[in-house]
Structure 1
Amino acid sequence: MPSESRVNILLVDDQPENLLALEALLEPLGENLVQAHSGAEALRCLLSQDFAVILLDVQMPDMDGFETATLIRSRARSRQTPIIFLTAFSNNEQFMFKGYALGAVDYLIKPIDPAILKSKVAVFVDLFKKTEALRQQTLRLEAMNAELRATEERFRLLSTCSPVGVFVTDTEGHCTYANPRFWDICGLQETESLEQGWLQAVHPDDQRLAVASWAAHLRQSEDYIEQFRFQSSEADEERWVCVRSAPMRSDQGEMIGYVGTIEDITEQKQAEAVQAQMIREQAARQEAEASNRMKDEFLAILSHELRTPLNAMLGWSRLLRTRKYDEPTTHRALEIIERNATSQAQLIDDILDVSRIIRGKLQLNCASTTLKTVAEAALNAVQPAATAKAIELVPNFETTTAQVWGDSVRLQQVMWNLLTNAVKFTAEGGTVTLRLAVEPIPEKMASLSQVAPPRANVSFETDRCVVIDVIDNGAGISPAFLPYVFERFRQADSTTTRSHNGLGLGLAIVRHLVEQHHGTIEANSEGENQGSRFTVRLPLLRSAPNPPSSMGSAPSRLDGLKVLVVDDEADARQLLTFLLNEAGATVTVADSVDTALDALNAAKPDLLISDIGMPNQDGYTLIEKIRTLPCCAAIPAIALTAYSRAEERSRILAAGFQQHLSKPIDPSSLLAEVAAIVNSQLNGRVQGSIAQA
């Protein structure tokens, strides 16, 4: 056993042989046995050591055991030390009474029974050890309590003087403590409800977001940081506050609540707003300067590009008028004049097209168009320029029958522009490829599958599209200029030393024409001198079977058609009712989702026309409920909305509507869409009958 865990036992006897005997009896206890040969020596031992028990002989010379015990009890350090008297006088009751009167805990008669001695001493040794352990624990607790009091005082000072608000909540989020700065930032009085915490100070406009985000924090038990506006209950003063919170856990990892801070960041927000305004103003200035610079550069290029052909045309025309030349020279002069006049006409056409695009006046004359024919015409138009540079034009038609709904003249202009551009930037002896193909619609271009049919008898494929690729092995496009390649008035090189002519309008016109055909265009290049690839994707026209003539054509009127119109605006309902009644339809109206559902059961309509933006429950809610009803889950539906963004249209079609029209509604477009749906249903029923037959 380690020495530091042993306790002292004092053996007092004037006979050395008695001390040896006691030592032999008690040695198995494993404690520290201290011998004293007299009362005086025993007292000296007590000056520097503490003992678990004292075995004190009664009969000793000079100072007997009783006198020694009296002195032991007179000292504070040894007043409570247990004393066991040892004596050879077995029948002297007077000695026994005297010993107990002096505070002895026991009185043993010699010869001493070893077992009794050891058991009695062991009891006092164990008691001493437990008492000492308790004393040490008491000292530790006192030290811990002192440290805790000091810590609490430090926390109180920190909390009181903290520049940020501090709060503590239980596991349910109920506030249990808040420091003075907390109440100051919240603009509340400490007498107000502590349990509601900071939420009661949030600005009404931010209240819903604050409650939702705080509830999510309590569910997820993760770190929390949000910024809200606070509004004082006594004034209209508005502050920006940053709220932070983190879960508190016990040493065992048990969740016990949350601790958080709130910090007034109003000045920071104001500084950020000022900085953001400065950045916006600076960006606007830079954009305006860049725009003006590009326009100046464009005007300089325009002047150059218009004057250059004029120089050749005027020069040769003057020479032909004043001199006589042989036939080859005259033919070459006229060819130069014609080529430059054509170039100048193209420049003027580009300028006019851009003007129409800017004013929204560029119109398309669309019809079912086979792209192979358009592509061949574009290749033939570009062939002379390619031949002049010994550039090979390669037609790669993977499809020869693909059709689109488009303006053949404008589509030829798209291909001509892309091919001309490729020839211009390809060195002599190079190759330019025009590829036509039908491919699956890429995921990133899902909008191609959601194009509204322009006419009742036109429909598009939903999973495939037409691809037009113009590929060259020419100068390529630098990564820095690639994002701007389709912008107006932008050229990679606008200096007076540029090596290629043109206004930089062609690709901008191409992009607009492609988008007017509901298509997409993208440019790709590995870099300068790595060639380039321009890819156009257009909706693929679906080739529909022609029903036998005995089936008749789609009805031009809506006679007998039952229509349910749902709109919360009375004027809108009245207009739609008038239009549909005039076309022969029977109309039932509803001003809300609930009344519409009732009308569905009562009127059993053939078609639903519903507004999207309605109070309480909108058109999305209506179509969702209708599609779950067995009686009318398949009813065709047209959505009317003032939201015209592409993503809104995608959401409408995904919700279950067959068509989407933007407000204000064009009456002829509405009736055409209704007729298209009626015609589609008719064809479906006829084709079903044919299949059954």
Structure 2
Amino acid sequence: MSPESKVNVLLVDDHPQNLLALEAILDCLDQNLVKAHSGAEALRCLLNQDFAVILLDVQMPGMDGFETARLIRQRERSLHTPIIFLTAFSTSDTLVFKGYSLGAVDYLFKPLQPEILKSKVAVFVDLFKKTAEIKRQATQLAAINAELRKSEEQFRSLSACSPVGIFMTDIAGRCTYTNSRCQATDNFKLEESLIEGWSRSVHPEDRDWVLADWSARTLKGQEYSNEFRLLAPEGSVHWVHVRSSPMLSEQGQVIGQVGTVEDITERKQAEAAHTQFIREQAARQEAEAANRMKDEFLATLSHELRTPLNSILGWARLLRTKKFDEKTTARALETIERNAKSQAQLIEDILDVSRIIRGKLRLHLVPVNLVSVIEAAIDSVRLAAEAKAIDFRFLIFDFGLENMSENPESIESDKQPGNSKFLVSGDPERLQQVIWNLLSNGIKFTPAGGKVEVRLSVSCSNEQQTTNNYVQIQVSDTGIGIGKDFLPYVFERFRQADSTTTRSHSGLGLGLAIVRHLVELHRGTVHVQSDGEGTGATFIVQLPLFKDEGGRIKDELIPLLLNPHPSPETPISTESTPSPLILEDLRVLIVDSDTDTHDFLTTVLEQHGARVTAVASVSEAMAALQQLTPDVMIGDIGMLEQDAYELLRQVRALEAERGEKITAIAMTPAYASNEELKLAAGFQMHLPKPVESTELIAALAQFAGQDCRL
């Protein structure tokens, strides 16, 4: 027990005012004062607690102090607990003797002298603490002795049975102990010097450097570890691993070495035998890993390219063969244009990465006003932000003071004060590509109703802020955030936090890698901050400011960035004779997370008489199946979130409950793996994407029992 810990003091009196008086006197001792209003209550306190001293009133109704003391002494736990009797009614020697006979250590008469009471209680408190400490030390010493005996027995057993040699030396290197395994391994006896024993046994080719290394390390009190060869008298060679550590005195001085000798001949032979195998295995694993990365990337690339291609080809074929009203035609053209731009961007990203890998990406450097660059990038993503009702803001700060509107549409960069401060030497198109990638990322990963904010500021390196050093662009969002495990890999090529077929967001994982390379080509830096999933992310780009020879920024060097957006010519639909309604009244459920795809498929099937229900997820599909029973279900294997495999599993479970069968068709990537096709075997048919409308109609016509000649 530490001296600072509190001990228990039991106060027993049937008058509450007396207990309060005792408590007031003893409170300055800072101990745990336990109050009892009767002898019975005092005995209950003694059941679970130990007390340094008991102050016991003699005159109490029912069980008086003497009877209470007698019962206290009958309990093993309180047999030796000091008792001080307190009384105000009698000073009779007979009663005093009776109290002492019951084991009392003192007899005090009321009114009590506070100082005397405190001093007596303090003595017993101190005695209790010291007694407890002595007991603790005695217990600890007994445990230490027992542990020492156990350790000695274990050491003797360990030394005798150890599979490795054990030795000890003094400061001069003379051997003071060896076990039998050590003597057998090194072929020397205890009385021989350790160095002499080794020098005789060490292989001649290893002897000089082994002994030099041993002496250099052990004389300095360092640890030693080495592998070398020993030469036996009969000429056989075996390998040993010798380890040793310095033994230190209580003052920290080196007094010798303790070490082990292990025969590692078999391990060395196995290592030599398997070296080539390991190399081949490593090469094979590297090749397999490269193939896996290639396959994963190709699968993702196939899906990302063919998903928009499905809508482009489908609508193009419909526009060529069917006559639609103006609204449907406009929607078709808009879908074709949007998906074509998506494909073009993917291809540009792939080409940029190819240029980066080959070192062929070049910049055309001119003075660039970053305000204009950011405005142009914002214009290109504004519609995407508005579609998701995202709160989009562009803030400009001059040395920490905001001086521009938060509304991007109201920003006029040439009229705002301080805009000339945001000049950098760069390639306008590439810098706009950097900003566009960051903004697109923020919008893609931010849920509807979220917030994306761009901050542009000038930062300085010194505290006085007298020297402009770089421009900082900060793009923040309130999106899904980045997990701490994935944060270090955000800017790596082909890396995505979720690369499975059920990933929640599309993309090749190239955008941020391109951002980093372009920023570094501009002698800048980019890094990301995120507190984890669900907390949003902030990307910070820093670019060096542009200055003339005198270190000043010239306002007249602000470039005019042109960002033309030519509109493609509107294709003209051709009329054709409508096909017969060969799918009339066929009930079809389409499950595809790509809105353009199931919009296209719905249009195609309805033109041939089918009754189509289109949903975007497995959960929506299961909800729809509660209301209808389709003849055919079409599901995309590469859906976001839950895929078609999960859909089929749930549908088959529902069929078992209803006792009916739904025909299922899977849409698979063109580069589908054997494993994917095997899983898709649960479907009655699988069609590669992009789906040919004629093949789809023909397949459904077979299920409808119609002769299809489109």
| TM-score, normalising length: structure 2 | 0.42
Higher-Rg structure is: 1
- Could you say which structure has the greater relative contact order, defined with CA pairs below 8 angstroms and 6 or more residues apart? 2
| TM-score, normalising length: structure 1 | 0.43
